[in-house]
Structure 1
Amino acid sequence: MEEVMAIERSYENGVSTFDDGAHSHCIAKTEDKGGVESKRFYLARTTALEMLRDRGYQVSDAELSLSLSEFRSGFGEKPDLERLRISVPLRSNPMKKILVLFMGSEPVTVKTVRVIHSQVSSTVGLHGLILVLQSKMNHFAKKELATFPCTVETFPIGDLLVNITKHTGQPKIEILTKEEKEKLLSEHALEDKQLPLLKEKDSFVRYHGLKKGQVVKITYSKEPVGHFVTYRCIV
């Protein structure tokens, strides 16, 4: 089938958004005799593991297939946040690692961030850190993240209760390599800014840890839009 570059009709100040309503879907109610807190941590940790796997990190099948009852048996109804931490290497370069820390319910302050900095700054091979937040992080604490020797991302725990990439209406999405991006722009005589744009704060972009300037290929093949392909550049 012929591939067509399409320009979406929905824009916000010239920038297209791509959430497709995924966040409007609530977690289905199921019979659960356990505590809410343990289920919340189970869902968030599972999504974090899936996210790391999709980013190319080495996550074991045993971790990904852990059931809620197994999680509760291992971590308890009120999990110790330290035990929830995740540390995994990049498949393509095991010397590079990413660390996921689950924060407490108290507000995250500059002091909190500095304590974390002192704990992880000597970690060999650490090139990424994800903080899962249960409460707000103030402006000064966010600025303090820039002092870390690695990339730091923050996710409110509520954003990880559902894996947005598993949404039934999700189109096929491929992240272009640098070479594929250059070929695309050359073939169509385009510049980055002429492609439909996708905000860096978009939930899909954050899930995959994409950076400004990267391009994704999106293939729609379901009703009501039919089959078409579009490309978007991260801004």
Structure 2
Amino acid sequence: MAATAMNVDDSGMAAAAAAAANGQARPRCMSSYVDEGSVQSHRYYLARRTLLEMLRDRGYAIPSSDIDVSLAEFRATHGQSPDIDRLRISNSLRSDPSKRVLVYFCNPGPVKVTSIRYISGQIANKDGLSGLILVLQGEMTNQALKALDLFPFKVQVFQITDLLVNITKHVLKPKHRVLTDQEKQRLLKKYSIQEKQLPRMLKNDAIARYYGLEKGQVVKVTYSGDITGTHVTYRCVW
């Protein structure tokens, strides 16, 4: 049995050597696919990348170089235990630089009223802010949720686990595009309908949350398939 095993190993090594000699890539060892870094840094990396893509898709000025950062580059900058204060994102709309959004990562654990007060105190220029996105790593208490209403701008809350994957990139997800007010009015006029007659999309729908949509906004949904071909429908956020 030992001799047989040795022959198998020898033949495998010979095959690898022959492949290398012919310029072919060697099969990668399974261990090369294992991430030896911390789970914490990997989660922060994935969530931050999704957030950058989300803001770009909302029309914010996000450089491609920020989105294209690799996990290794992220860890080289932030380490295996990133400081959440350094993960904050602040960018302005391309069409209106006066409108700025801030992304704030909360500490692990429950988010209480005291946490919201602390976050409010950390925001230096509230007047120049048009939106705030909080990334949670635990539950938010009812009192803390009510305290969000005290902010003079829109506040969105995401769990970090909801940001590990960009849902808009899923192969089975149809393409969504948010219509401008002018495009919406042309659509309603073209078909002689009111917005309440359009198919609905709930405000808490994952896509509506991704784009930060408000009630009354209309989304163009394009479906593509080998069998059904391409067809378009429209949904109004409700």
- TM-score, scaled to structure 2: 0.83
List alignment gaps of at least 5 residues for structure 2. 1-32
In structure 2, what residue type is equivalent to 1:52? L
> Identity of counterpart residues, as a percentage?
51
Q: Shift of the alpha carbon at 1:229?
A: 1.2
Equivalent position to 1:44, from 41, 44, 47: 47
Taking the TM superposition and a 5 Å limit, the aligned residue runs for 1:66-81 are 66-81=69-84
Residue deviations 1:34-54, cap 9 Å, x none? 111100000000000111111
Point out which structure has higher relative CO (alpha carbons under 8 A, 6+ apart).
1
Give the equivalent residue in structure 2 for 1:144.
147
- 1:61 counterpart letter in structure 2: S
Is 1:166 paired with 2:165? Answer: no
More helix by share: 2
1:120 to 111, 120, 123: 123
Residue aligning to 1:14: none
2:113 equivalent to 1:105: no
SS of residue in 1 equivalent to 2:130 = strand
1:158-197 map, 5 Å:
158-197=161-200
Shift of 1:227: 2.3
DSSP-derived class of the 2:104 partner: strand
Q: Structure 1 segments of 4 or more deviating over 2 A?
A: 121-124, 223-227
Structure 1 position 55 matched with structure 2 position 65: no
The answer (yes or no) to whether the contact 2:168–2:175 under 8 Å persists in 1 is: no
**How far, CA to CA, are the matches of 2:39 and 2:125 in structure 1?**
35
The AA in structure 2 aligned to 1:46 is R
Q: Distance in 2 between matches of 1:161 and 1:51?
A: 12
Partners of 1:73 and 1:124 in 2: how far apart? Answer: 34
Q: Is the deviation greater in 174-183 or in 208-217?
A: 174-183
**Structure 2 counterpart of 1:84, from 87, 91, 97:** 87
Corresponding residue for residue 21 of structure 2: none
1:224 CA displacement: 4.6
1:5-49 deviation line (CA, Å, top 9, x unaligned): xxxxxxxxxxxxxxxxxxxxxxxxx42111111000000000001
**1:154 correspondence with 2:157:** yes
Q: Is the 8 A contact 1:113 1:141 kept in 2?
A: yes
Superposition TM-score, scaled by structure 1 size = 0.84
- The alpha-carbon distance between structure 1 residues 113 and 183, as it changes in their structure 2 partners (threshold 3 A), is same
Aligned to 2:236: 233
State the 1:172 CA deviation: 2.4
For residues 128-165 of structure 1, what are the alpha-carbon distances to aligned partners after superposition, in whole Å with 9 as ceiling and x for unaligned?
11000000001111111011021110000011000111
Contact between 2:110 and 2:138, CA under 8 Å: does it hold in 1? yes
Count of aligned residue pairs for this structure pair: 206
SS state of the match for residue 41, structure 2?
A: helix
The 3-state SS of whatever aligns with 2:138 is coil
Structure 1 distance, partners of 2:65, 2:141, is 36
Structure 1: gaps (5+ residues): 1-29
Is contact 1:88–1:98 with CA below 8 Å preserved after alignment? yes
Q: Secondary structure at the match of 2:233?
A: strand
